[in-house]
């Protein structure tokens, strides 16, 4: 059927309605959350620092440089938190899983404190055991949350 004025009109109306609708919606998550377009999330930066501090711990254990291990462990235990706005976005995204997310964070914190104490006693075996517990907390949270987190906030797996 040829395009009658009537169908053209309704088509135009549909386009106008869509444009209106789009205008009333919040911008898609991609525009705000893709790292190329927005500043990296504070959580991502915090994680990178945690990664560096964990490398510092293995290096310190290898050198039996216990003050260095203790210093890194304290940094891991007391890592900064994202600013409130970002924290609220993360917690909103986690929904009912937020408690598990916090549990992993607490586990990492407690194990890192034990690592710091073992290093202060220069107890290498206890330090290694505590280090394994820290890694277990990192891994546990990553296995459970990293992929959905990246899909949601970075539109990336
Ligand atoms: C409570 C949950 C949680 C814990 C505990 C946790 N992480 Fe993460 N980590 C995440 C999430 C979520 C991401 C994905 C962040 C992103 O892609 O922006 C991540 C990403 C990372 C990354 C990749 C960052 C990048 O450049 O993309 C590193 C490195 C990392 N974490 C290190 C650690 C280390 C080391 C520990 C333990 C000391 C740890 N994390 C503990 C949740 C956690």
Establish if 96 belongs to a structural domain: yes
pLDDT of 91 reads 94
What would the pLDDT profile of 91-145 be if each residue is shown by its tens digit?
Answer: 999 999 999 999 999 999 999 999 999 999 999 999 999 999 999 999 999 999 9
Establish if 16 belongs to a structural domain: no
- Indicate the top mutation candidate among 43, 137, 138, 156 to test ligand 1's pocket, ranked by most ligand atoms within 8 A of CB: 138
Task: DSSP for 90-105, please give it.
Answer: HHHHHGGGHHHHHHHH
Supply the residue whose CA is at minimum distance from atom 6 of ligand 1.
138
List, chain by chain if needed, residues with CB within 6 Å of any ligand 1 atom. 41, 43-44, 47-48, 50-51, 54, 76, 101, 104-105, 108, 134, 137-138, 141-142, 145-146, 149-150, 154
Domain ranges, residue 110:
31-154
- Is the torsion defined by CA of 137, 63, 124, 67 positive or negative? negative
Supply the CATH number for residue 121's domain. Answer: 1.20.120.10
DSSP 8-state assignment for residue 143: I
| Distance from Cα 61 to the centre of ligand 1, integer Å | 22
| Distance from Cα 46 to the centre of ligand 1, integer Å | 8
Least confident of 34-38, 49-53, 68-72, 127-131: 34-38
| Distance from Cα 45 to the centre of ligand 1, integer Å | 9
Establish if 24 belongs to a structural domain: no
pLDDT of 40 reads 87
Establish if 142 belongs to a structural domain: yes
DSSP 8-state assignment for residue 64: T
Establish if 20 belongs to a structural domain: no
The structure tokens listed for 81 are 């938190």
Establish if 11 belongs to a structural domain: no
Establish if 41 belongs to a structural domain: yes
Establish if 53 belongs to a structural domain: yes
What is the domain count for the chain?
Answer: 1
């Amino acid at each position: 059927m040829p395009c009658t004025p009537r169908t053209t009109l309704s088509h135009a109306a549909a386009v106008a309605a869509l444009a209106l609708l789009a205008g009333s919606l919040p911008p898609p998550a991609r525009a705000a959350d893709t790292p190329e377009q927005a500043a990296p999330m504070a959580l991502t930066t915090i994680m990178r620092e945690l990664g560096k501090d964990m490398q510092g711990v293995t290096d310190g254990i290898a050198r039996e440089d216990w003050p260095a291990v203790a210093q890194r462990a304290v940094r891991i235990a007391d890592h900064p938190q994202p600013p409130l706005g970002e924290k609220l976005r993360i917690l909103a995204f986690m929904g009912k899983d937020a408690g598990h997310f916090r549990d992993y964070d607490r586990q990492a914190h407690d194990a890192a404190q034990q690592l710091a104490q073992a290093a202060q006693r220069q107890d290498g075996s206890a330090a290694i055991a505590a280090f394994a517990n820290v890694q277990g907390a990192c891994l546990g949270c990553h296995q459970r949350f990293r992929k959905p987190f990246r899909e949601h906030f970075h539109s990336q797996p």
